[in-house]
Amino acid sequence: MVDISAKLGDWKLDNPVIPASGTFGFGYEFAQFYDLNRLGSIAIKGTTLNPRFGNPTPRIAECTAGMLNSVGLQNPGLDKVIHEELPKLKKVFSKKVIANISGFSIEEYTECAEALSKQEQVGILEVNISCPNVSHGGMSFGTDPEAAASVTRAVKKVSRVPVYVKLTPNVTDIVSIAKAVEEAGADGICLINTLQGMRIDIRTGKPILANKMGGFSGPAVFPVALRMVYQVYEAVRIPIIGVGGIASAENIAEMIMAGASAVEIGSENCRDPYACIHMIEQLPDVLKKCRAESIEELKGRAHQ
């Protein structure tokens, strides 16, 4: 009998499959399809200090082997997430969740981190550093090693749970960012966030998205995500959650071989609400194909 359990530091998961933030709402919406407790965990929708309506529409565009989104971090804000969304999820999901937070200043990150890390349901904070730093001209926190480190240090000071930093792939050197957040105290890393892309309507000659550009995700980005997980695994000693274009149990095996301890499934949830469950069901057979008895045995195999 193969063992599909996974570990993120001291946290043991029944399996390595986690729906990615932004693709699964606050989780309870999917309880109509299957028992959510079959999942390893859930990365809930990104939370900001204040409510956000998001970007103007249209903010979704289809692409070959993927999709573009420019949703703009739409969420009800920290207070409602704690007092409304998490209680709803608790009724249908008994495990701890990964709480994704975003901010436009260090202060916003720390306020969200401090409040959410106090919630019994939260097992890990996932810090999205792809947001523009409005205090310093709008450059993304995640594109500069020192800015990424400063967010990490600030969140670590106030968090009661492990802090995983979600890295943007829109950089020339992903390893330098990963090393910076590790040195700043991150307990783990999640990568990758979406790549930047756009589509143009040839009938009008104008961008399809109202925001012109958006985050590109889906199977087409998988090789990029896999490469970055592989590179980062060789550079850091902390756990990695691999995300980006995963569409099958075989893709999960590749991510684990590249060095991920667990994975997040993103756009595939939008195509098939049962995607995560199908992958969990197929994992034992895929492990057997890989001649591995467990997820732990498979981890980092590509580096051996």
Report, as residue numbers or ranges, the catalytic residues: 131
- DSSP H helical ranges for the chain: 78-80, 86-90, 106-117, 145-158, 174-183, 222-235, 249-258, 268-271, 275-289, 295-298
**Which distant-in-sequence residues (6+ apart) come within 8 Å of 245 by Cβ?**
66, 217, 218, 219, 220, 221, 222, 223, 224, 225, 251, 266, 267
Cα(253)–Cα(37) distance, integer angstroms:
22
Torsion angle in degrees (nearest 10) through CA of 58, 63, 66, 72? -20
| Chain centroid, CA 297 distance in Å | 23
Q: In what order do the strands lie in the sheet with 195-197?
A: 60-63, 66-69, 214-217, 195-197
User: For residue 11, what are the β-bridge partners?
Assistant: 8
User: For residue 128, what are the β-bridge partners?
Assistant: 166
